[in-house]
Structure 1
Amino acid sequence: MEYQFRPIGKKCAATGEDLAPGSLCHSVLVERNGELVRLDYSEQGWTGPPEGALGVWKCVVPTPAEVRHEPLDTNALMRCFEQLTEEASPAREGLRYILALLLVKKRRLRLDGSRADGDLEYLQLAGAQGEGAYEVRDLNPSDEDVQQWQRELNVYLASEWNPGSEAA
């Protein structure tokens, strides 16, 4: 089952003040009148999760430029992944890793297992529509690495990769 709730709000649920871009935000899911409601709190307004909280997490308030990106359909993202796989550029290994995880989350790729090669671990993936086997090195990234690669992937998708082109 997939749950839907709104993206990060603009105001602190406790103080009513604007959530500053780049600041740490505490987010909480609560049930109200049978619906999931997201509440966002600034550091100053955070006193801990309210009673009955169903989920609690921290995030960074996005800057206005990061707020909205045109979503690409999963088939377009898959073509982009295949293109990165063909390029096999070590400089884009992080992008490929993040894109692979995104496609697994969107159920366009599935994780079939993993294999070790010395000190390295590889994720073994297959396309949900029968595309061939793929291996992506498990980079075990830090949170900072993930955020950096996500930013790079957004730039790559927006500027270098043409979603209208078909993979050969």
Structure 2
Amino acid sequence: MNELFSRYVRWGRDALEYSLKPLGKICAATGSPLSPGTVCRCVLVEQNGQTLRLDYRHDAWPGPVPNQLAVWKTVVPPPLNPDAVHLDSDRLLELLEEPIPEFSDDLHESQHDQQEVTGYSEAEAIRYVAALFLLQRRKLKLDDAVTHQGVEILRLLGSRGEGPFELVNLRLKDEEIHAIIQKLKQRLATEVST
């Protein structure tokens, strides 16, 4: 344990708990990105009654700063491999609760093209695949399936009272599901690393 940090924390039942944000993306001194493999100094400071974390490139660290509680050295880890991302059930439920962006000029051209070719947006496909995972894990159950204007709509309920969630039965092929799983994992890996 760092010598400075141990001055401020007593062990045992009176120990203080700190909730630290993850390693930042930019150097607090230079504003330059902290890329994987970069050696950093991380500093905890107390400011206005709050504990803040500041991350510095090792060569840009100014030395001890006022109100410093702790300092340690670390290396920026490589980005997460999307294949190693665990598809957390609670996060998948959150995806189902997110609104689907409407077909508008704000969508990227590739999303317009995908929707025109496949008949569904990437957001709809991600929601559908998330629902498949949750059905498989018994976190969702099929409440009803109705056909409206030739489109099958699935109505799903959460095992803990979440929902109802309504989504189009996209009837994706296995290779389409696999591609969407990769996009879903990439999205979740990006969320975790930011």
TM-score (norm 1): 0.50
Instruction: Give the partner amino acid of 1:115.
Output: V
Query: Per the alignment, in what secondary structure is the counterpart of residue 84 of structure 2?
Result: coil
Q: 2:27 corresponds to which residue?
A: none
Query: Per the alignment, in what secondary structure is the counterpart of residue 126 of structure 1?
Result: strand
Return the offset for 1:151.
1.1
Cα distance in 1, alignment partners of residues 161 and 192 from structure 2: 23
Task: State yes or no: 1:79 paired with 2:99.
Answer: no
Change (3 A) 1:70 1:151: closer
Query: Per the alignment, in what secondary structure is the counterpart of residue 141 of structure 1?
Result: coil
Q: Percent identity?
A: 29
Return the offset for 1:76.
2.5
Preserved CA contact (<8 Å) 1:124 1:133: yes
Cα distance in 2, alignment partners of residues 80 and 162 from structure 1: 15
Preserved CA contact (<8 Å) 1:76 1:163: no
Q: 1:105 corresponds to which residue?
A: 136
Greater Rg over alpha carbons, structure: 2
RMSD: 2.4
Q: Deviations over 1:73-112 (max 9, x none)?
A: 32222123222xx234533111110001101111111111
Return the offset for 1:162.
5.5
| Structure 2 residues not aligned, in runs of 5+ | 1-80, 103-120
| Structure 1 residues not aligned, in runs of 5+ | 1-64
TM-score (norm 2): 0.44
Change (3 A) 1:130 1:163: farther
Task: State yes or no: 1:158 paired with 2:189.
Answer: yes
Query: Per the alignment, in what secondary structure is the counterpart of residue 136 of structure 1?
Result: strand
Cα distance in 1, alignment partners of residues 174 and 95 from structure 2: 23
Q: 2:179 corresponds to which residue?
A: 148
Return the offset for 1:72.
4.1
Cα distance in 1, alignment partners of residues 172 and 85 from structure 2: 26
Q: Deviations over 1:58-81 (max 9, x none)?
A: xxxxxxx66x42324322221232
Query: Per the alignment, in what secondary structure is the counterpart of residue 142 of structure 2?
Result: strand
Aligned length: 96
Cα distance in 1, alignment partners of residues 193 and 157 from structure 2: 21
Preserved CA contact (<8 Å) 1:125 1:134: yes
